Amino acid sequence: MNVLVVDDEQKNAELVAAELRDAGFTASHVSGGAAAIQRLEAGGVDAVVTDLRMKPPDGMAVLVEVRRRWPETTVVVMTAFAGLATAREALKLGAQDYVEKEGDYVEVIARVLRDAAEKRELLQSNRALAASVESLRRDALAVIGDAPATRAALELLRKVAATDSTVLLRGESGTGKDLFARTLHALSKRAGGAWVKVNCGALPEALLESELFGHEKGAFTGAVRQKPGRFEDANGGTLFLDEIGEMPLPLQAKLLQAIEEKTFTRVGGNRPITVDTRIIAATNRRLEDMVKERSFREDLFFRLNVFPIVLPPLRDRPGDVPRLVDHVLRRHGAPPDKLTADARRALDSYTFPGNVRELEHTIERALILAGADAITPAQLSFAQPEARREHGWVPRIPPEGLSLEALEKELILQALERASGNKSAAARLLGLTRRTLYSRMEKHGLRTPGEGEDAEGEGE
């Protein structure tokens, strides 16, 4: 805290400033109220300690001016002439406190300033948190979109946010699980508490255990001091365990205990630590299959899967792409008309295998390439010939898997429909010979053996 001491008795101003510096403050001094106002106008002053009786402007006038022009600045009034009425007036005008110049009065001033600094820090923290939560709510709702599948997931989120239930977010990579988890925290009664994220796939087992549960001094080589873990950091708030399917099997038992009993021990410790932490986990893996393969504990799966929410891939969110595109443009300070109509159509028709993350990266890259010009399909990476050849038609395997036989049959039917029944044209669309197409059609019951083999006309 930067403190300005104001007293027309130069020596007293110097002594008070020196003692405040000894107490840990950054302190300077000026002689008189006029000099104080000039110094305040230069900025950088957090608190003013002013004598009451000075040549005009006196301490009361300084107090009034500070409260009028710099309302966030703390003011402490000190005087050798104590008077109850004067003290009441100073406090009424907004002074933090009124201190008599007797005994160790600078220690009293230092204590008042420390209390004021703590209150200021708490107020600023609360304001920042409120702004962050409100911003997160607006931002998240804008990003999430309004498609039926999105609304269904968001409705589940709103219902569970008011509780302390463990939530498991499931979905493909890039569907926004991190943002969904942050939104859940922001809408919960724990929004004022800590938000802590741990990526379970980013650290080796030994480091992950220390990251989650902390360690005692000397627990391992390099543990030169005690370190609280992320469970403790999230006490009273929310702990987000991303990529939970990547957690090493030996650690899963300790995690299960921490979730069920809210108690654990640090690495190298034996003292149980109890925390009040809400758990949100996320994965793009099929944990049920991992349970069957014995690479994920069944009891931990059931404990995490109390309230599952499946986040839909972007291809299952019709109508969300334009809204998401506009949101990304706004975030980068670009207007909606930055995109040409052709570019918007290309974005709207693309399946985005990488989901929202791919969409964001695509727009960001296009903004860089376009510069001051409008974005056309030429700046969209997926719209390039190379990208179309490599990725344009290739489907993504969904988390639940797919049937290759059913996919092949569906592609044949689509090719026949696009070719208006012309099997030669359909074969070309699929990159097959006509004879191979006949064979595949027979396999899927779309043609009887020998049917139309000699026909070459358009009506095949």
Last residue of a domain, one of 282, 310, 338: 310
pLDDT score at 391: 44
Asked whether residue 92 is domain-assigned, the answer is yes
* pLDDT (average), residues 156-163: 92
Same domain, 172 and 305: yes
pLDDT score at 144: 61
Mean pLDDT, the chain, rounded, equals 86
Res. 453: pLDDT tops 70: no
Q: Which CATH number do you get for residue 319?
A: 1.10.8.60
Domain count, the chain: 4
Last residue of a domain, one of 77, 103, 118: 118
pLDDT score at 288: 94
In 250-306 the beta strands, taken as DSSP E runs, fall at 263-264, 273-274, 278-283
Q: How confident is the model at residue 301 (pLDDT cuts 50, 70, 90)?
A: very high
Burial class (CB in 10 A: 0-12, 13-18, 19+), 404: exposed
DSSP 215: B
Same domain, 51 and 191: no
Same domain, 328 and 275: no
Where in the sequence is the domain holding 341, given as residue range(s)? Answer: 315-392
Same domain, 433 and 302: no
Same domain, 85 and 27: yes
Res. 140: pLDDT tops 80: no
Asked whether residue 139 is domain-assigned, the answer is no
pLDDT score at 388: 46
* pLDDT (average), residues 103-126: 84
Asked whether residue 136 is domain-assigned, the answer is no
Res. 452: pLDDT tops 80: no
Region of residue 184 (phi > 0: left; psi between -120 and 50: alpha; otherwise: beta): alpha
Between CA 24 and CA 106 the distance in angstroms is 12
pLDDT score at 458: 38
Same domain, 190 and 242: yes
Same domain, 90 and 217: no
* Predicted confidence (pLDDT) per residue in 348-392, tens digit: 888 888 888 899 999 999 999 989 999 999 898 776 554 444 444
Q: Which CATH number do you get for residue 8?
A: 3.40.50.2300
CB-CB contact of 215 with 268 (8 Å)? yes
Asked whether residue 397 is domain-assigned, the answer is no
Q: Which CATH number do you get for residue 436?
A: 1.10.10.60
* pLDDT (average), residues 405-429: 85
Same domain, 383 and 452: no
pLDDT score at 282: 96
CB-CB contact of 79 with 59 (8 Å)? yes
CB-CB contact of 78 with 72 (8 Å)? no
- Collapsed DSSP state (helix, strand, coil) of residue 155: helix
Vertex 118, ends 116 and 120: CA angle to 5°? Answer: 65
Res. 143: pLDDT tops 70: no
Same domain, 163 and 285: yes
Asked whether residue 411 is domain-assigned, the answer is yes
Same domain, 8 and 54: yes
What CA dihedral angle connects 411, 414, 418 and 420, to 10 degrees? 110
User: Greater confidence, 345 or 86?
Assistant: 345
DSSP 389: I
* pLDDT (average), residues 173-188: 89
Q: Which CATH number do you get for residue 292?
A: 3.40.50.300
The continuous run of DSSP H or E covering 311 comes out as none
CB-CB contact of 33 with 50 (8 Å)? yes
Between CA 294 and CA 231 the distance in angstroms is 26
Last residue of a domain, one of 259, 293, 310: 310
Q: How far is CA 277 from CA 197, 199, 235, 237, 442, in A?
A: 12, 17, 5, 6, 59
Between CA 286 and CA 252 the distance in angstroms is 16
Asked whether residue 137 is domain-assigned, the answer is no
User: Greater confidence, 261 or 119?
Assistant: 261
The pTM assigned to this predicted structure is: 0.57
User: Greater confidence, 177 or 86?
Assistant: 177
Asked whether residue 326 is domain-assigned, the answer is yes
Same domain, 154 and 287: yes
pLDDT score at 81: 73
Same domain, 268 and 353: no
CB-CB contact of 231 with 258 (8 Å)? yes
Asked whether residue 51 is domain-assigned, the answer is yes
Res. 199: pLDDT tops 80: yes
* Predicted confidence (pLDDT) per residue in 125-137, tens digit: 666 656 655 555 5
* Predicted confidence (pLDDT) per residue in 48-79, tens digit: 999 988 989 998 999 999 999 999 899 999 98
pLDDT score at 456: 43
